[in-house]
């Protein structure tokens, strides 16, 4: 029976690439999304992947959404916590709401989805959780204290939860993408983007499929000895 995978923020960008790659591997994939109904319908029409709408920052909505998926699709074996937002600004101009919303969705969403799916994985003695962090959670970034803190928190969350799941056949890993050619990065002004690319040793932005391939590896049966790890996919921009 095919493994059931849920990808949050799965209808565009990196999330979409992950959904399509897991689908092509033979998994039953469900994409969560938080906002654009028309875009979600277009995604489903183009990919054949079902979509379910809820706010990953809402704890009860995650519990209810995952329960609906389990009832309608099957037990959730794989969770990819990809959903995230930015509310950039230097600290002295950043509102509490800008701080709180990024923490609520980017980091809180990981906790909420794990709470919804971890118990079932423990019962079945198998699970894969992949959390999408960021190079900016590793190295920091000017004007992103909220985003960098949330993404850095994801890396710590990953290591701690990996220890809890290891005896139950559940692996928990993170991927820290560098700058990827997505809509989010396309919104960066061209002069700024040129300076970013100049700092990437391989001399280009990454592609969403390059992140998806990392996720696919971590979700496979053969990756059972890999847990608590952060895989950096950033073209050499940050090494440690």
Domains of the chain: 4-233 (3.40.50.720)
231 sits in which H/E element: strand 230-233
CA 163 to chain centre: 20
Residue 56 is predicted with a pLDDT of 98
Residue 224 is predicted with a pLDDT of 98
Q: Quick one: pLDDT band at residue 188, thresholds 50, 70, 90?
A: confident
Closest CA to 52 of 63, 40, 70: 40
- Examine the residue annotation and report whether 147 is marked as an active-site residue of this protein: yes
pTM of the model: 0.95
Q: Which of 52, 147, 179, 240 is catalytic?
A: 147
User: pLDDT per residue over 77-125, tens digit each?
Assistant: 999 999 999 999 999 999 999 999 999 999 999 999 999 999 999 999 9
Measure the CA angle with vertex 161, ends 14 and 217; round to 5°: 40
Per-residue pLDDT for 27 more than 90? Answer: yes
Residue that the structure tokens 């391989």 belong to? 202
Q: Quick one: pLDDT band at residue 44, thresholds 50, 70, 90?
A: very high
Nearest-angstrom CA–CA distance, 107 and 167: 24
Q: Token digits for 150?
A: 């949330």
Nearest-angstrom CA–CA distance, 212 and 192: 26
Mean of all residue pLDDT scores within the chain: 96
């Amino acid at each position: 029976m095919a493994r059931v995978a849920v990808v949050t923020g799965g209808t565009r960008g990196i999330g979409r690439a992950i959904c399509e790659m897991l689908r092509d591997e033979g998994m039953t994939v469900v994409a969560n999304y938080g906002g654009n109904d028309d875009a979600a319908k277009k995604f489903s029409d183009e990919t054949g992947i079902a979509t379910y709408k809820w706010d990953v920052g809402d704890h009860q909505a995650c519990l209810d959404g995952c329960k609906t998926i389990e009832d309608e699709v099957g037990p959730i074996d794989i969770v990819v916590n990809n959903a995230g937002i930015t509310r950039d600004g230097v600290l002295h101009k950043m509102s509490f709401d800008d701080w709180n919303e990024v923490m609520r969705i980017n980091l809180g969403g990981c906790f909420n989805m794990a709470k919804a799916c971890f118990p079932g994985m423990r019962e079945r003695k198998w699970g894969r959780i992949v959390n999408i962090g960021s190079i900016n959670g590793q190295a920091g970034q000017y004007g992103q204290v909220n985003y960098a803190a949330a993404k850095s928190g994801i890396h710590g969350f990953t290591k701690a939860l990996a220890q809890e799941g290891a005896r139950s056949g559940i692996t928990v890993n993170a991927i820290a993408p560098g700058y990827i050619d997505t809509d989010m990065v396309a919104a960066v002004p061209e002069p700024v983007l040129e300076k970013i690319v100049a700092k990437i040793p391989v001399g280009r932005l990454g592609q969403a499929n390059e992140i998806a391939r990392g996720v696919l590896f971590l979700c496979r049966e053969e990756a059972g000895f890999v847990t608590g790890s952060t895989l950096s996919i950033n073209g050499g921009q940050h090494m440690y």
